[in-house]
Amino acid sequence: MARALVGATLLVDGVGGLVVETEAYDHEDPASHSFGGRTARNASMFRAGGCAYVYRSYGIHWCLNVVCGPAGEGSAVLLRALEPTHGLDRMRARRGIDEARLLCSGPGRLCQALGVDASQDGLPLDAPPFALILPERPVPLATGPRIGISKGVATPWRFGLAGSRFLSRPFR
DNA sequence: GTATTGATCTTCT
DNA sequence: GAAGATCAATACA
């Protein structure tokens, strides 16, 4: 799913763009929030695939995941960066900056630009305010280790649109 | 260009 | 009390 979502278009209330960077987290993965079992925070990660899991990161930011797999499993894909295509003016107003490249280049920035917070946690991604359109054609992928984790460091489950200028960090 | 730090929520020890 | 799927501002090279 993390590979399939690169190149998709995500909109929240009409604001969004092309998904250029994702990371995979599954229930057997020590880096995953679901690894230690269900808690109040990660409850929506254990729902059936197709809904959102939104969590508070470092006490400051919100991060948005696409829940995958059957109910009870606890697998999800973190959306780390978008190439803005819709509603750039609203993103700039929310983010307080002008540079398109910095509007959604990171999971916390992405949520701020799209207005995502706990009120969207658990909502289905195929109904308003969300819209998720999968890519029509396969897209060139870059692969590498995930960012900002201390366990499962060697698992290469970060995926990006090869050559995109809107990544949170480049691939090598 | 890299390095450091403060913001302060949620979970686990 | 510590750590974490982060970001931005600041200080330096």
Q: Which nucleotide is closest, CA of A147 to its C1'?
A: C5
Structure confidence by residue, pLDDT tens digits, A44-85? 999 999 999 999 999 999 999 999 989 999 999 999 999 999
DSSP designation for A46: G
Q: Which is higher by pLDDT, A150 or A162?
A: A162
Provide the pLDDT confidence category of residue A172 given band limits of 50, 70 and 90: confident
Residues of chain A with pLDDT > 70, as a percent, come to 100
Q: Which nucleotide is closest, CA of A33 to its C1'?
A: C5
Structure confidence by residue, pLDDT tens digits, A13-46? 999 999 999 999 999 898 999 998 888 899 999 9
Q: Residue A75's pLDDT is what?
A: 94
Q: Residue A46's pLDDT is what?
A: 94
User: Is the CB of A154 within 7 Å of strand B?
Assistant: no
Domains present along chain A, CATH in parentheses: 2-161 (3.10.300.10)
The runs of H, that is alpha helices, within A54-144 are 88-95, 107-114
Cα separation, A169 vs A172, whole angstroms: 10
Contact A49, A70 (CB under 8 A): yes
Question: Quick one: how far is CA A149 from the chain centroid?
Answer: 15
User: Is the CB of A36 within 7 Å of strand B?
Assistant: yes
Q: CA–C1' distance A108–C7 (Å)? A: 8
